[in-house]
Structure 1
Amino acid sequence: MGSTGYDVRIRAWASGQFDWFPLASAVPAETVEVFRKTALWDVEAAESEAAADPVPPVTFPPTEADEYAVWMRYPSSGGKVPWGLIADHLTSDQARAYTRNPQTQLNVQPVAPPPPAVPEPDAEPESDTDDE
């Protein structure tokens, strides 16, 4: 049986240490390249023999936006379910790559636009007072 693509893991900070987490199964080389170029953490890929059942992403399809962020659910810790940012400022196509046969819960969200710039108040004019 030949390779069906690549299984991908991501090394992320969770529960106070770095650990490797399954990210995707049986994805094409192009998807692996998207992960390598866009993930905030290291990724590694190995040829897969069979595709694992996908874990459905929390949000799919992404809401229409200019840029996207991808959050990953980490294992529960101390009764909490932590999420961590694994990719940011992605195009629509890049964000879609993260939804191909995911192996952990992901949340693809539009990147929030930056807050509007607040104009700085005009400087107070210096007063010329004579103390004479």
Structure 2
Amino acid sequence: MANKKSKYYIIPNGYTSDDTNNRLKWLKDKTGIDLDTNLENLPEDLKGIIENHIGYMKIPMALAGPLQVDGGYAQGEYYVPLCTLEGTLAISMTRGMVATKRCGGIRVNHIKQELSRAPVFIFDDLNKADQFS
């Protein structure tokens, strides 16, 4: 199922309920993933994930991709679900993902697990970044 309006975007488009269902079916056919968009988590299941839980809010979920990844933990083509109220964000992300795919994809290297707020260092290639760390 391809988007006939553009040769670059293969995620089916449209704004009807049928279009949404077609995208969910397309995603399952393409990736084998059945994306459950229904919130069924009990507050007890959220321990360690969120504090002071008061409920849920529906935010529209879109799909962007394909993202071509070459890394130690992930390799292949991925479609990325994202929740947003920002118009054109999903299609803009898709354009960026398609551009990087056409250039050979994104190479990543996991160095260590941590969260920090720090300056950004830019290197000519992945090996120089690895040596720096």
Q: TM-score, normalised by structure 1?
A: 0.22
Query: Could you state the TM-score of these two structures normalised by the residue count of structure 2?
Result: 0.22
Q: Which has the higher helix share?
A: 2
**Which of structures 1 and 2 has the larger relative contact order (alpha carbons within 8 angstroms, sep 6+)?**
1
Flag the structure with higher strand content: 1
Q: Which one has a bigger Cα radius of gyration?
A: 1
